[in-house]
Every structure is written in C-alpha cells, then in structure tokens.
Structure 1
C-alpha cells in the first residue's frame, strides 16, 4: 500500500459546526505535482468508487483504529471530495477532532494502490487509475513515503522478529501494541512453513497492507 499525505489547509477542509465531529474537504486534488513526484489525473478514482467489496475506512494514521465513517466520497472537477464524521464517544476520535480544531493535527492521507500509471522519469508518475484502500487523518508532518522507505531499508538488515518489532516501534508508525500485534500475525503466517524467527523483511512488507486495512 502506498500513502499520499496532504495538508488540511491545502485541501479546504472545513468543520460543519452544526454537526459535532463532521468535516468536509478534499482528500486529494487533481493536477500539479505533489511532494511524492506524482500527478493524479481526473478520473483516477472513478472505478474504485463504483466497484467496491468493502467500505472506505476512516482511520487514524493509517495503522491506527477506525475512528469514524465517510459520509460521502466522490470525484469532482477538483479532486476527491469527502465528508467524514468522527465517532461520538470514541476517545481517540474525540481527541483527533479536538486536535484538528486546534490545528495540532493537520493532514489527510489516502492509502492506495496505483493500478494504471505512466512513468515520467526522475521519480515522477502520472496516476491514471487508483484503487482506494482507506483515507486517514494523520499527524505526521514529514514525507510519509520517505518514512516507509526508511523502515523497509531497516527491515532488510533485521535478523529476528524481535529486532523487526523494535524497528517498527521506533520508526514512529506503530505503537508498542501495534508492532507486537503485527509481529504476532507474521508468526501466525509463518507457522507450519518455517521457523518463526527466520521470517524476513518481505513477510513484514506483505503484512503492512493487511494490518493497515484490517
């Protein structure tokens, strides 16, 4: 799964004060070149929004819990327009909403797979069709694509599941509980195939998407 973060200010996110916990704006915009070197073309979300086996989840930081639901997700001339509602009484959701209102949390990010794209060279792409996996509210101000690359690089050097668990936790993308849960799932995957302590980085990469999308 790839992720693509965008600041709330640049996607016109607004809070609908008449409905507590409800906000609206754009999860991504068409045209231009983003910080990842990608240009998303109009129509990229058309198929994924029509043909879905599961709803689009509203998550916290991609790897965190579902904290609400998307009331509307659609393409228009500008980009991917969304209206979301954070779950009343959900402690994480209420904390996130307070942080958004205060400006301490300032990003939306889509989790997706590129299905059709054109390589423009120099790390740039035109994304023609996207499979949308989820849309998250995110706190991390850094380039998440670079963070994922850093984690993958570190995993290549890991020699045990315990070391992998530490890398994931220290990378800041996983809490201790999340890192432990992910490693437990890798062990379950490996059980019966080979010794759990010999599971490699590719097994972890395979589990990134499964863990993030539940």
Structure 2
C-alpha cells in the first residue's frame, strides 16, 4: 500500500455570497417615471468607500444583508459588486432567493440633489443623486437593474467530489492488496 493514498475529509465549504450587477442603468425610464442620467452618482461616490453604501434586503433598514465592495459608474450605469453575509439570518435568506433566481433585481435608495422634467418623455431626469443604499429584491422599479452573477461554492457538489475521490482511493488500495 502506498502512502500517497489517503482519505480526504471535507471540513467546511461556505457560500461566498458574492453578487454583482447593475444597481441602476442610464437612459431608460423606470416604472416610477425616473431616468437616471450618466454622471448622476459621480459626486456621491467621490471619496466614499463602497462599504459606506448599505446593502439592504428590500429597502428595509432593519435588514442589512451584506457589504458592497465595489461601486462605479460605467457607460451602462452603476456597476456593483458585493458580498451577502450568508452567516446572518437575513443574509442567508436573501442569498438563497438570489441564487434561486427569485430575487434578481437591484434598486437604489437615494436623495435627489438635481433633477428636471422631460415633458416629451413624461419623465423626471435625475442629474445628481446622493446614493444611500442599494437593495436586493424580487422586483425593482428599473427592470434593467439586475443581479448578473451570484457566486457560490456548492457544498453538495463538493461533498460528492470528496466521496468520489475517497471511493477511487479505496478502489486503488484494494487493487494493491
């Protein structure tokens, strides 16, 4: 019997809780009649850490679910990356819904600094906002503001892989006898 064959034990595989997507997009009219303009978040984000913007479950300030790790404007809108804290009750619930596809919308909570009316499009143009929070929820006002990626390590797949590796090692050991 060779010393290189040893049983593998799965100690723990945790959900990473990582999500990314667009919290807001530019140029499209949302369901409440707002159109966010490019540059609307520039002043609000300047000199501010992503972690200063709250990650909430359904705009509920009592349900903090994680932290944003990166928030930046690009040509499409407000691109975000963050980590849902799956160690908490609310975070685990939110992440389970996100992973299943039941909560794939993102929505911003903000204070309007500068806006103007566009009578032709029957919309309010948001030129500058002070971003306070970004929420995960089942349905948001902006259908294009969505979670694009939910990253997790699947414990069930890891356990099956470990079982298969252990079975293969046992078969090799049995063949050496």
Report the TM range for the smaller structure's normalisation.
Answer: 0.5 to 0.7
TM-score (norm 2): 0.64
Q: CA deviation at 1:52?
A: 4.5
CA change 1:142–1:19 in 2 (3 A) is closer
Q: CA deviation at 1:88?
A: 3.5
- Paired residue secondary structure (2:39): coil
Q: Distance in 2 between matches of 1:21 and 1:75?
A: 22
- Name 2:118's counterpart in structure 1: 120
- Name 1:180's counterpart in structure 2: none
- Name 1:28's counterpart in structure 2: 24
What is the correspondence of 1:1-214 to structure 2 with a 5 Å cutoff? Answer: 20-52=16-48, 55-63=52-60, 64-121=62-119, 124-139=123-138, 141=139
Unaligned runs of 5+ in 2: 1-13, 143-177
CA change 1:78–1:142 in 2 (3 A) is closer
Would the aligned equivalents of 2:34 and 2:123 in 1 still touch at CA under 8 Å?
A: yes
CA change 1:51–1:21 in 2 (3 A) is same
Q: Distance in 2 between matches of 1:35 and 1:143?
A: 5
- Paired residue secondary structure (2:30): coil
> Which is helix-richer, 1 or 2?
1
> Which is strand-richer, 1 or 2?
2
Unaligned runs of 5+ in 1: 1-17, 145-214
Runs of 4+ in 1 over 3 A off after TM superposition: 51-54, 141-144
The structure whose Rg is larger is 2
Q: CA deviation at 1:143?
A: 5.6
Q: CA deviation at 1:142?
A: 7.3
Higher relative contact order (CA 8 A, sep 6+): 2
TM-score (norm 1): 0.54
Q: Give the aligned CA root-mean-square deviation in angstroms.
A: 2.4
CA change 1:71–1:88 in 2 (3 A) is same
Q: CA deviation at 1:129?
A: 0.4
Q: Distance in 2 between matches of 1:94 and 1:88?
A: 4
Q: CA deviation at 1:133?
A: 0.8
Q: CA deviation at 1:32?
A: 2.1
